[in-house]
Each structure stands twice: as structure tokens, then as C-alpha cells.
Structure 1
């Protein structure tokens, strides 16, 4: 196979570049483009020899794009205009402008790329921007397929449901093309053994692999239905779903992704956070087979930003929570402290997101910045598999 010339847009910390390497598809990144100076420092730290353009995409002319003569575009445009908890400004959000510029440039290139891979949040698939993307690539002669996939489909104990589009410049349909449907599983490809993957659209509510909520311990579902005081914001269905995921042997345990030889003291939750957010924490153990999606607010905010790890394995979570009723704040903190709850380290989150062992940050990048950058990144192994699917 010829060596593909790849253009990496919105390159961030290099998740797409790592995925390209992981895919083993012969390729060379001719340019990476990002305006985020902190992300660019991390990118340069890991890919010192890649041509990195620290400028806005709108600042690159049609002629400059043509000179790069690329065969593939890998891109992860800003997700804020489409995220379910945001304002959903879609095309009216200024952060969409750079992507609209790409869609304007694409049909006017001297040589169209052969492949396009795009990643974004769930919600992009129902946006007007997505409609314009489909219209543009269809007019250019691309065949395409859309997906909603989570790393749990690859046995990784972390839920990160994301939208993906694969597009190929050819006249015949892709072998896995299902017109009008967003696929919830990877296509089977010749180079790999068949595997059982996620779920179809109709069975989403029964799925193990899609977006687990809050928290599950070894306590029985029955006990929660009888009114146990554990996690007051959980329903019996949510607890059921988490327990199913924890007993799903196709998923690896979190302990496989944890750091062994690092100083963890700075990662333990402070007493104020323990007291204020006790009932909102998504608590997992090293033996758990699940964790919630880590967002850019992890480490700074508690609710909905990612799981925390219970490192005291001999302490029963449910017993601690049952004992909290009517205790004064100081005693509640003392009880909760026995769980030894800590944040996942940035390295551990990078491990769960499929970044290779050699991936690292420059020393000057703070822990808060590392969490933010990882929260804005993607799962390397999911994208690597999709690159293989696209190029086969």
C-alpha cells in the first residue's frame, strides 16, 4: 500500500496521529493544525518532527491546502456547538466557523483527498452542520457511513460515546454502508476475527456498553430497591446497568490501566469535596470494569466529569454510606475518608483513552491543563480501528 499523506486538523494533543500509528496503515502526517498553544506544546513534545501549523484553519488559503497534497483528512472539530449540555448553537456558534470554512474549501481543492475521518460528540448527528457536511461530501463523490461508538466495544472499561464519520472517494458503496442509519457497532473487517460489539438503535436502553450512569458497587440491586441510602440520585435501573457492566467479562478491569509507581497524594479528594458531593460521586474500584466519560472539567468539578477511584479495597462502600445518616459534618468526612477516594491521574486517563505508554506531557503543563486536554481528546484505539476499516 502506498504511504498516505495525512492532514490532521484540530490536532490537539495528537490523538488522531497516535491512532494513525496504532492502525499500522502506512502514512505520513504532512501537517497538523491547531490554534491551542498548550495543546501544541504537548503535540510537539510527542511528535517533534511533524510540521505543526499553530494558526486558525481559516488562516490557511486554498493554495496552501493544495500545496500539502494530502490523501486523507483526520479531524475532530470543536464539539461545544453540538454537546447535549451546551447551548447547541450549531452553525450559529462562532466555533463552527472553521469547520464551515473546510466544507467551503473541500470542493475547490485541486485534488480531493481519498479518505476523511471525522470525530465529534453524540448530538452532532442531528445538527444542521452535519447536514451540510453530508451534502458537501456527497456532491464531491464520497461514499460515507456514520457511527456512534464507545471504547467499551473494544473491552476498555470507559464509556465515551462519540460520533464518527468515515468517507471514501469512490463510486461504489462502502461494503459496510447502511444508508440512513448511524451504526452502533464496528464493521467486521477481513484482517480481524469477528467480534461481538455494541448494540443496535432499538436496544439502546438495554445496552451494557452505552453511557453508564453514576455508580455501582458489589451491593445487590435488591438492597437499593429496599431504600438503601446509597447514592440518592440513582434509580434501580441505573444500578442494574452498572452491575451488569461490572460483571461483563469482555471488559478489562480498571487495575490494568492504573499507575503503580507515582506519588498519588495530590490526587485524593479534599474533605470539602467529600462532604459536598458524597451523593454525586461515581465511585469505582480497581476491580471494576467500568468508568464514566472523563471531561475537561475533571479534577476541578465533580458532577458529571468522570469517575473517582476507591483505593481502600477492604472497606465496604455501602456500609459507609448507610452510616452517614444524621452524623455531623466532621464525622461524615471521617467516615468518607476511610474509602480513600482519589481522582484518576492524567496518565491513567490517557491509558484508558488508548494513548501509548510513550505518550507524555512536558513538565511545565499543569495537572489541571492535562485533565482539560485529555477531556477534549478522543479514544485512540477506537479511531485506529476505524482508520483500518476505512483503508481496507
Structure 2
């Protein structure tokens, strides 16, 4: 019998895609979100799933009981807990819906057997998390918390997130649970080895595989060891060393595996001259042969600083030769040098690839590029969700 799944804060359907990828026999009986653009994308990809465009606190206990769901998948708003926000926690109005979920859960006629929750790093030290744990314990759930990044699955993108999986005590986990937050999957046996390979998080172990050089990626190799580090950008030697470790980790795939092979009107993604001149020293530049990229946020493609990596497409140009004497050049010469690297933003499809969305996942034509970036920046990694669902449903 197929599991009946309730998807809260459904967004563009990352949880739904993870559920489908897990191979579990399941039906999403309702998806709930108030974001109009996200709902357009969700409906485009899952036209047969009931989509409720309403606030979660607007759903009655009677309506929830009528769904008779076996699993909750949810990714509550992260703004109350993000490290760069106001960190209003449970006092933030955007946490109201999540508190409503915690209030109504114990009052359901039938408790769902399984729960999966995702949020930003920072949630683990919040009052909301304490309320969540208290509710789970009150209802008789056992649970395990994680801090995971896609690098754990060999994906070259840093996106560290908090996850929690919980199940009713009547069915124990297939692995020994821990009171500590795990930073890797319990074991390689937790995931179907035929689908993907689970590795230790290179993000938490930046020197993993550092003995294997990747000379085709900028800043990697012996010429840029600690004793010869050339710092031309606004980054520390430690940051550069961390990037070298990530680029040299052969257990993580190269970015080229996730790039579009042919992109029409590619010129729209190249960084404009103003951005090149203003942000040259703070860009996180990667090549197709790199094994890393920074977290893509909802401001990517619109803002430059801290929103995600940019791709150097002129792979025959040495980045050192461009930046070495940049400060000595006038504006015109500086722009010519920087332009020679042919730096562009990753396309929305490429970010979707790094997030693990299937090739069949798409966007309606009326959703603009800027809106696609925003929606993907608010989304999650499908492969991690899939792996956690498999782990959650695995029998001892």
C-alpha cells in the first residue's frame, strides 16, 4: 500500500522530487504553500497532486484528519533562524505556521508514522527546535538530527543544512540513533549503492583527498601551496587552503558534469562590466573542472556578493595572469583583463542540476529567470532528501 504523504511548505517540489527518487511507493495527498510563483512551478511539474495555496495555520484539524497521511515532509521558513537575518526565532511572525504544526500534531486522530524536516544551519540552536523536540517526545517519536551538505554525496556544491527524521517508537531506526547531530550518513549501507555513493562530508573535512592534485582547476596543485600562496583577492590564506582541499577531493564530482552542454543566448548570463569592476576581488571563481561551488542563494543572478560562485568559461586563460597586476591598470585595461576570463552566472537549470532535480523538472515560460533563481535559492537538495527518506523507511 502506498504511503500517504503531506508536503508542507512545498515550494517548487524539492521534497516531492526526493520522495520520487527514493523509489518508495507513495502518494502526495496534499501540498501546501502560499508562494504564487512556487505554486506555478509545482503545478507545472506535478499537475495531478492536490495543491493548497493557503496558509498552513488556515488548515483545520478536521481537514488534516481527513487526509489520513502517513508522512509529513516539511521545510519551514528559514528567515527566523538564518545566521545573516535578525534571528527572531519563534517571535518572528514567519514562524507562526510552524508553531501551529507543532500545536496541532498531538491532536491528530492518527499520528503520521514518519516526519522529515529541513531548515538552515542555525535551526539546531533555536527555540523552535526545542519546541519541535518537545512535541516529538510528547507524541512518542524517536528522531535523529543531521547537518548535511551535498558534498556528502559527491556533489560539488556547499549547502549545509539542518535535517531531522523522526518515526513513531513502534518502529525503530535501522541504525543506532545518537543524541548528537550527525554530520554524515550513519553508514554507506544506508543508501542504495546502485544509486549513489555516500562519502564523508568534504565540507567538514576540507583536506579529504588533498593528496590528489587537480592542476586544471585554479589555485590547486603544488605551485600554490601554503608557502607560495598568492593572495590577490579579499580572502585569507586559510580560505584559499580550504578551497584547494575541496578542489583536490577526487571523491567529489567535477562541475562540468552538471553544466548545460548548449545554452541559447548564453550572453545573458555573463557578468556585466559594472559587476566585473566592482566585485572582482570578492568573486568566488570556479572552472568546469573544479569540485566545489558556494551556496546559491535567492539573490543569485541579481546580486553578486555572497550569493554563489561564478563560472570561468575561458579555461585557456590563467586566472593568475589576469589578477596579478590588476591594481596597476586603469579601468579600461582592468575590464579587458577581467573580460578575458569570460565569467558567467550558472544558469537556473545548472543550479537545479546541482540541487539534484531530475532532467524532467522544468519551469513554466512565464516564470522569469530572476524568479527561477529566487525559487531555487529557497529550495533544497533532492538527493539528500531522497537518501534521508530511504534511511527513514529502512527496516532494522
TM-score, normalised via structure 2 length: 0.92
Correspondences of 1:1-392 after superposition (within 5 Å): 2-171=1-170, 173-188=172-187, 189=189, 192-193=192-193, 197-198=199-200, 204=204, 217-218=219-220, 222=224, 228-231=230-233, 233-263=234-264, 264-392=266-394
Report the number of matched residues. 383
- After superposition, give the CA deviation of every residue in 1:118-158 in whole Å (9 maximum; x if it has no partner): 00000000000000000001100000000000111111111
Alpha-carbon shift at residue 80 of structure 1 (Å): 0.6
Task: Give unmatched runs, 5+ long, in structure 2.
Answer: 210-216
- Worse-superposed segment, 333-342 or 245-254: 245-254
Distance 1:249 1:74 in 2: 33
Contact kept, 8 Å, 1:151 with 1:160, in 2: the verdict is: yes
Structure 1 unaligned runs (5+)? 210-214
Shift of 1:177: 4.0
Quick check: 2:224–2:230 contact (8 Å CA) kept in 1? no
Q: Is the 1:144–1:177 contact (alpha carbons within 8 Å) kept by the matching residues of 2?
A: no
Q: CA RMSD in A?
A: 2.0
Which digits, 9 at most, give the CA deviation of each residue in 1:330-388, with x for residues without a partner? 11111100000000000000000000001000001010000000000000001000000
Offset of 1:172 from its aligned partner?
Answer: 6.2
Q: How far did 1:325 drift?
A: 2.1
SS of 2:232's partner is coil
Q: Which residue of 2 aligns with 1:212?
A: none
Runs ≥4 residues deviating over 6 A: none
> Is this contact kept in 1: 2:152–2:201, CA < 8 A?
no
Q: Quick check: 2:89–2:127 contact (8 Å CA) kept in 1?
A: yes
| Kept after mapping to 1: 8 A contact 2:5/2:69 | yes
- Tell me the CA shift for residue 60 of structure 1: 0.3
Higher mean displacement: 190-199 or 301-310: 190-199
SS of corresponding position for 2:326? coil
Tell me if structure 2 keeps the 8 A contact 1:224–1:230: no
Q: Deviations over 1:38-59 (max 9, x none)?
A: 0000000000010000000011
Q: Structure 1: how far apart are the matches of 2:115 and 2:220?
A: 44
Contact 1:32 1:52 (C-alpha < 8 Å) held by counterparts: yes
Q: TM-score, normalised by structure 1?
A: 0.93
- Judged with a 3 Å threshold, the aligned counterparts in structure 2 of structure 1 residues 317 and 224 are, in CA distance, closer, same or farther, namely farther
Q: Distance in 1 between matches of 2:93 and 2:198?
A: 40
